[in-house]
Amino acid sequence: MNYLAQNLEGLRTRYPALVQTTQENSGGLLTVVPSREGSPSATHEGRWVHSGYDPRKEAQAWAEAQLLEWKAGELGVVFGVGLLYHVEALIALKPQGAMLAVVVPHVAEFNDAASIRPMEAWINKVEWVWGTPVAMAEQLATQSAPLRFMTYGPAACLHAEVHRDLEVEVRRIAATKQGGRLHVAVVGPIYGGSLPIARHAVAALESLGHRVSWLDQSPHRASYDLFASGREPRHRLMMQSRFTDLLSLSVVTNLAEDPPDLVLALAQAPLNLAVLEHLRKKKFLTAMWFVENYRHLTYWQQLAGGYDHWFVIQQASCVDALTRAGARHVHYLPMAADPALHRPLGLTEAEQAEYGADVSFVGAGYANRRTVLPGWLSSDWSFKLWGNEWDGADDLASVLQRGGARIDTETCIKVFNATAVNLNLHSCAGDGLDPEADFVNPRTFELAACGAFQLVDERSLFPDLFAPKEMVRFNATADVPSLIRTWLADSSGRREIAAAGRRRVLAQHTYTHRMSELLAVIGMREPDRIGAMVRGDRNAGILGQRTDAPPELAALLRRFPPGQRVELKDVAAQIKANGAGRELAREELLILMLDSYRAETRDLV
Amino acid sequence: MPRALVIQLARLGDLVQSMLAITQLRVRHPETQLDLLCPSHLAEVGRLLPGIEKVLEWDGAAWQRRAMAAQQDLRAEHLAEVETVLMALAPDWYDYAYVLNQHRRALVAGSLLAREVKGPLLHGPLGEALTPWAAYVRDVAQRRLGQRVHLADAFCGLCGVSPPGHIIPLDPPAVRLPDDLEPIGKHGDRWIALIVGAGETERCVPTEVWRRWITSFLASTPQGRVVLVGTERERAAEIQSPLPPSALGRIWDTTGRTSLLQLAAILVRCHRVVGSDTGPLHLAAALGRPVIGWYFARARVHETGPYGVDHVVWQAEEMRGDAWPVDETVAAICEQGYRAPIGWTVWTSHCDTWGAYYAPVGQAAIAPREREALWHELEPALS
């Protein structure tokens, strides 16, 4: 029997366009086959979309698993259509007050489901979301409820790209709507390249209005180095490892004294697995922004399961590797620039003379750079090489500045600004270009943010980050001299491209964008925690306007500015501050009682 | 009939020590129904306390779960839920709550469940001013004063009643022991209950010290038996593992397998109870068993010495390495007098009109006059 007409009839009032499009589509995306149990199941290109034995039983199990996290008041958003057994099961089990939306990436699939299964009993209990990813994201964004995404894998994998694009768009919208205030503890490394990035992240989070506890480990650098002064490598390693464990404990102490909503660690942060597991037990939410090439530094393998969220600067292979190692949520989050720091500068003549050159390179002396750079020297242009770890690079000695001393950020920025053609060669262990060019270094964004012209080696991720008119790339080291020659002769062309690159960075690639994105990602995974905070749902004004707020609680909440985030501890503190010497209302007493137990839940150390 | 609620949310020892205040409240207000609010896991001990009509169980773990749910997302439903819990616990208001803890939680519980709260604070749960008795208890705790009013008697003061002036024993519970533990105390000579652990790690006696103690005791008392009590099975196993063959059949390990009532029943069957964990020591003392306490770390005999007469406490004044009163306490059990190793002092308990107190062993039981003066000062109406 074909149920299409009667199913669509139920939808006609609310979704006339979906009904019309479905009717115009002939279906046939799925191959319907009977299951062993008798009910229809389906396959797509030979793969089962539902159980071949008992689709209802399988759907029931899936739905029950979703209920573990789905809370009342949230809009559940289902990825994966198939024959909709799982949606029917979810409707039967959904919590009181919870709402459900189903994303329909392809009406042919919806046609198949609506043709083969009777759905009138529940078809109107679902919000049907269809159209382009952007249209679907906008439709979801109009919902006031927090979104809880649920993926029915066997069907969702048919349209993985659509779902990914939709999620990206929802995150983008969520990022623009962030109005809440979080408390984020940022844990930096003791030293190294991720240290300035940690500082940029701190500044960005603060600029977004969040409260940041910067747990700076760099003051411990001297002690860390001192522990490395032993002759025996085994002793050095042991001492440094123990020292790192001590710092890990020190971070925990800090977290215990002022518990944050989110602990954000940057690569090389001294947090060991035991501490991360302890934090999870104590309900701390943790994230790591691993701003490293995962192939070079591999300690992530030991820590993968420790963090709740991983953010990485590489895509597929890196995400797969971390997932295999036990990471629960891995997201791509590229590097960025800080426009307050990385900016066009007006240089004095003396500065121009000191830092300027036709061609410059700033960076450490990795193997491939030592091999490649000498070939880019020429009597046709002046060349300055800045940075450390160039010992033994004799053929570059004539252009090495300051004797190969490490240079600070401000000097870097002056060099970028003073140079006509900045070279940007990603490091790798080989002797040429990076054969697995799948991450973009911070220098790319920093140069662009400075409005400086650069020639950069091609990266597989560039298409998503910069257009060719915003950045000149090369695919072979041999191409660089001619590119230098061309662009040295075209100052207006250089300015145009550099300005376009800078505009792109300011529009999309600042640390503020990255932190917004990071919080949006976590917020979508944790709609009832970070998501609610980021949206501002925990602000006094919104809490007080809730229809379920009793007058007494609303009165308590009115004591706070409407835009201030309010939690149990804040209300309790307010009561303690104003309650001495007067008779407390019953709600106030209840809050004090709950707060006395809340104070024990973060007993970390 | 007026109804009053005694609130004691602290540990086992505090609950047991609340017994005097409860019995004195019963004497002072015979017409009042007295109920008790105590932690769920101590409720069966609460039901043993004379004068208590009903025990309300306070489930701290459930409160903590509710607090975690409410801590970031404060919703009306959280308040509604805890209100429902309180209504189920006590559908009607009490006329009075006698709060015996200084923790804000107990004070708030009193305000939530009773019209009037009598306890450590003068002006509600957020007040700063302590009642005279609460101020005294805090002061002696901070200054670690000796010759103080015993905490159990101070509880009486907090409730506005005077101490009974004599010992009121707790009736042993009618509870069945596991069959294999039934012979405890029924034959042989000198069954000693040894409390193997303590609530806090710093108050735990090292296992090898207890091993030495057992070896010494069994060697000194051929018919003696040792009953290991408490919850720490691993510590008990560690204590026993390398004991000599002569100990075979003379050690009864009950750790980790008894309820609190069964523990009480076992303690009653023993001639003496030895240990450093003040909770079971107070329980044993209340059941009328003579107690030997080893007090060190933060434990002070004048604050938490077992209530009653003839209990003995070895108090560490200055811990020196491995100087534990092993042979000294064994000698005391064998009635060979009281000695103290270097760094320790020995105290024994007495009782008079103003309650219990401790004096150095061997000195006459002269009641310190300070306590009498204190009762006159803090509670003139009672004196």
The Cα B221–Cα B224 span in angstroms is 5
Predicted pLDDT of residue B37: 98
Kindly state the percentage of chain A with pLDDT values over 70: 98
SS3 A314: coil
Q: What is the DSSP letter of A145?
A: S
Q: Which of A538, A550, A590 sits opposite B82 (nearest CB)?
A: A590
Specify burial of residue A572 (Cβ count, 10 A radius: 0-12, 13-18, 19+).
Answer: buried
Q: How far is A38 from chain B (nearest CA, A)?
A: 44
Give CB contacts under 8 A, 24+ apart, made by A557-564.
A563/A179, A563/A536, A563/A539, A564/A181, A564/A539, A564/A540
Predicted pLDDT of residue B334: 92
Predicted pLDDT of residue B383: 42
Specify burial of residue B331 (Cβ count, 10 A radius: 0-12, 13-18, 19+).
Answer: middle
Predicted confidence (pLDDT) at residue B9 exceeds the cutoff of 60: yes
Predicted pLDDT of residue A248: 93
Query: What residue in B sits closest to A592 (Cα-Cα)?
Result: B108
Helix (H), strand (E) at residue A243: helix A233-257
Q: By the CB < 8 Å criterion, does B122 face chain A?
A: no
Predicted pLDDT of residue A324: 95
Contact B126 A579 (CB under 8 A): yes
Task: For residue B144, name the pLDDT band (cuts at 50, 70, 90).
Answer: low
Q: Which residues of B touch A603 (CB under 8 A)?
A: none
Mutate to test the interface with A, among B74, B86, B103 (most CBs of A within 10 A): B74
Q: By the CB < 8 Å criterion, does B85 face chain A?
A: no
SS3 A75: strand
Mean local confidence (pLDDT), B78-93: 93
Mean local confidence (pLDDT), A68-97: 89
Q: Which residues of B touch A598 (CB under 8 A)?
A: 67-68, 70-71
Query: What residue in A sits closest to B77 (Cα-Cα)?
Result: A548
Phi, psi for B344 (deg, rounded to 5): -120, 155
B272 vs A147, A372, B222, B226, CA distance in Å? 64, 86, 16, 10
Cβ contact A325:A344 at 8 Å: no
Cβ contact B361:B325 at 8 Å: no
How high is the ipTM of this complex?
A: 0.90
Q: Which residues of A touch B66 (CB under 8 A)?
A: 594, 597
Cβ contact A158:A42 at 8 Å: no
Mutate to test the interface with A, among B58, B65, B73, B117 (most CBs of A within 10 A): B73
Output b/e per residue, B14-24; b: 16+ Cβ within 10 A. bbbbbbbbbbb
Predicted pLDDT of residue A314: 95
Q: Which of B71, B73, B111 sits opposite A584 (nearest CB)?
A: B111
Predicted confidence (pLDDT) at residue A175 exceeds the cutoff of 80: no
Q: Supply the angle between the helices B260-269 and B278-286 in degrees, to the nearest 10.
A: 60
SS3 B348: strand
Contact B64 A566 (CB under 8 A): no
A331 vs A163, A288, A336, A443, B260, CA distance in Å? 14, 10, 15, 21, 52
Mutate to test the interface with A, among B83, B113, B126 (most CBs of A within 10 A): B126
Q: What is the pLDDT of residues A87-105, one digit of tens each?
A: 999 999 988 778 899 999 9
Cα torsion A260, A266, A270, A272 to 10°: value is 80
Predicted confidence (pLDDT) at residue B381 exceeds the cutoff of 70: no
Nearest to B141 by CA among B254, B339, B302: B302
Which tokens belong to B181?
């533990």
Predicted pLDDT of residue A553: 77
> What does the angle CA A598 – CA A599 – CA A601 come to, to the nearest 5 degrees?
65
Mean local confidence (pLDDT), A428-450: 93
How many contacts (CB atoms, under 8 Å) link A and B? 105
Predicted confidence (pLDDT) at residue B143 exceeds the cutoff of 90: no
Mean of pLDDT over chain B: 90
Contact A548 B77 (CB under 8 A): yes
Q: What is the pLDDT of residues A317-327, one digit of tens each?
A: 999 999 999 99
Contact B79 A587 (CB under 8 A): yes
Which tokens belong to B180?
């294999």
Q: Which residues of B touch A587 (CB under 8 A)?
A: 79
Task: Name the more confident of B223 and B5.
Answer: B5
Chain A residues near any Cβ of chain B (below 8 Å): 261, 283, 528-529, 532-533, 538, 543, 546, 548-550, 553, 566-569, 571, 575-576, 579-584, 586-587, 589-598, 600-601
Mean of pLDDT over chain A: 91
Residue indicated by tokens 């500045």? A401
The Cα A156–Cα A160 span in angstroms is 6
Helix locations, A117-232, DSSP H:
133-141, 153-156, 160-176, 194-207, 221-227
Q: Which residues of A touch B71 (CB under 8 A)?
A: 567-569, 594, 598, 601
DSSP A377-424: --TTS-EEEE-S--TT-GGGTTTBSGGG----HHHHHHHHHHEEEEEE
Least confident residue range of A344-353, A574-583, B109-118, B274-283:
A574-583
Contact B105 A596 (CB under 8 A): yes
> What does the angle CA A120 – CA A125 – CA A130 come to, to the nearest 5 degrees?
95
Predicted pLDDT of residue A377: 96
Cβ contact B378:B136 at 8 Å: yes
Mean local confidence (pLDDT), A436-447: 95
Cβ contact A337:A502 at 8 Å: no
Predicted pLDDT of residue B72: 66
Distant-in-sequence, close-in-space partners of B142: CB < 8 Å, separation ≥ 6 = none
Mean local confidence (pLDDT), A24-34: 92
Q: What is the pLDDT of residues A251-286, one digit of tens each?
A: 999 998 888 989 999 999 999 999 999 999 888 999
Contact A579 B112 (CB under 8 A): no
Domains of chain A are 4-176 (3.40.50), 183-335 (3.40.50.2000), 349-509 (3.40.50.2000), 539-605 (no CATH)
Which tokens belong to B248?
């075979």
Q: By the CB < 8 Å criterion, does B115 face chain A?
A: no
Q: Which of A170-174, A230-234, A244-248, A306-310 has the highest mean pLDDT?
A: A306-310
State the first-to-last Cα distance of chain B, in angstroms, to the nearest integer. 28
Distant-in-sequence, close-in-space partners of A487: CB < 8 Å, separation ≥ 6 = A420, A421, A453, A455, A472, A493, A494
Kindly state the percentage of chain B with pLDDT values over 70: 97
SS3 A563: coil
Q: Which residues of A touch B127 (CB under 8 A)?
A: 580-581
Bin A152: left if φ > 0, else alpha if -120 < ψ < 50, else beta.
Answer: beta
SS3 B103: coil
The Cα A288–Cα B329 span in angstroms is 57
Q: By the CB < 8 Å criterion, does B73 face chain A?
A: yes
Query: Secondary structure of chain B: what % helix, strand, coil (to 5)?
Result: 40, 20, 40
Q: Which residues of B touch A553 (CB under 8 A)?
A: 74, 76, 79
Nearest to A149 by CA among A207, A77, A204: A77
Domains of chain B are 3-158 (3.40.50.2000), 179-352 (3.40.50.2000)
